[in-house]
């Protein structure tokens, strides 16, 4: 695959029990780039991220971050290697405050500098002592992304970040992702095609657990092109 890739996935297959869900997936993520995965519900996008993050054991293939293989590592070791997964369901640690949620991220990475977090998401500053369970969907997403960027991860795997969010928050997240891509690579699973087309450097289209198209460059990454795969 691409020798300069920060994250390389080669021939990855995975299954839930006897049901195969990913078939021979290969993709490469360059440093400081945004890669998007699009596809219909059930195409295997979330499973792909979870397999990269170590939650699902692949049946075949390799995943490497830099020169380290991620296959066989538990999810917490994958996270410690700088490949952080931001899940889809926006479930934060509801009984903990925003501050405590961030402290968990800080302690794991030994990164206690919250300036980037509060710069990207100033709203979190005023919510520090609020229990995360009382946050809105958008605030939860901010908290989850903010927590994940502590420790300056190399790769962020972000699953459906704008699902159910107000347009103003989606626009804010778009800017944040652009900023984040200056220091880290992002793999975003997303159905919001205008967002994908605005920020992605490469788009992988998935269908039935396999990559069916790869789009790159502004000529190819267009909403009408991506729509064919939804």
Binding site for other proteins (CB under 8 A): 53-55, 74-77, 79-80, 84-87, 91-96, 100, 103-105, 107-109, 147-148, 151
- The DSSP bridge partners found for residue 36 are 188, 203
- Closest distance of CB 218 from other proteins, Å: 33
Q: Please give the order of strands across the beta sheet that includes 202-207.
A: 83-86, 155-159, 185-189, 34-39, 202-207, 210-216
* Integer Cα distance of 9 and 189 in angstroms: 15
> Given the complex with other proteins, which of 81 and 213 has the nearer CB atom?
81
Find the radius of gyration of the CA atoms of the chain: 17
Q: Please say which residue, 88 or 216, places its beta carbon nearer to other proteins.
A: 88
CB of 183 to other proteins, least distance (A): 18
| Choice between 2 and 113, CB closer to other proteins | 113
Q: 157: which strand partners?
A: 85, 187
CB of 52 to other proteins, least distance (A): 12
Cβ proximity to other proteins, 147 vs 174, nearer residue: 147
Please, what is the minimum distance in Å from the beta carbon of residue 104 to other proteins?
A: 6
Shortest distance, position 99 Cβ to other proteins, whole Å: 10
Helix, strand, coil abundance in the chain, percent, nearest 5: 35, 30, 35
SS3 string, 8-60, reads EEEEEEEEECCEEEEEEEEEEECCCCEEEEEECCCCCHHHHHHHHCCCCCEEE
Closer to other proteins at the Cβ: 101 or 181?
A: 101
């Amino acid at each position: 695959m691409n020798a300069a890739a920060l994250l390389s996935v080669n021939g990855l297959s995975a299954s839930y029990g006897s049901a195969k869900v990913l078939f021979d997936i290969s993709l490469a993520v360059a440093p400081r780039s945004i890669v998007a995965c699009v596809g219909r519900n059930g195409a295997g996008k979330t499973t792909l991220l979870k397999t990269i993050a170590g939650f699902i054991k692949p049946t075949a293939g390799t995943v490497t971050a830099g020169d380290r293989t991620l296959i066989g590592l538990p999810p917490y070791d994958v996270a410690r290697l700088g490949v952080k997964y931001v899940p889809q369901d926006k479930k934060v640690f509801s009984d903990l405050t925003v501050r405590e949620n961030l402290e968990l991220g800080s302690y794991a990475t030994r990164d206690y500098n919250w300036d980037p977090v509060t710069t990207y998401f100033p709203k979190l500053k005023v919510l520090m002592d609020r229990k995360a369970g009382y946050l809105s969907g958008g605030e939860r997403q901010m908290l989850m992304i903010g927590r994940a960027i502590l420790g300056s991860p190399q790769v962020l795997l972000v699953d459906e970040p704008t699902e159910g969010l107000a347009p103003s928050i989606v626009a804010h997240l778009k800017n944040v992702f652009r900023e984040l891509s200056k220091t880290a690579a992002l793999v975003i699973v997303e159905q919001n095609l205008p967002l994908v087309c605005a920020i992605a450097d490469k788009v992988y289209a998935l269908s039935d657990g396999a990559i069916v198209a790869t789009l790159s460059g502004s000529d190819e990454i267009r909403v009408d092109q991506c729509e064919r795969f939804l």
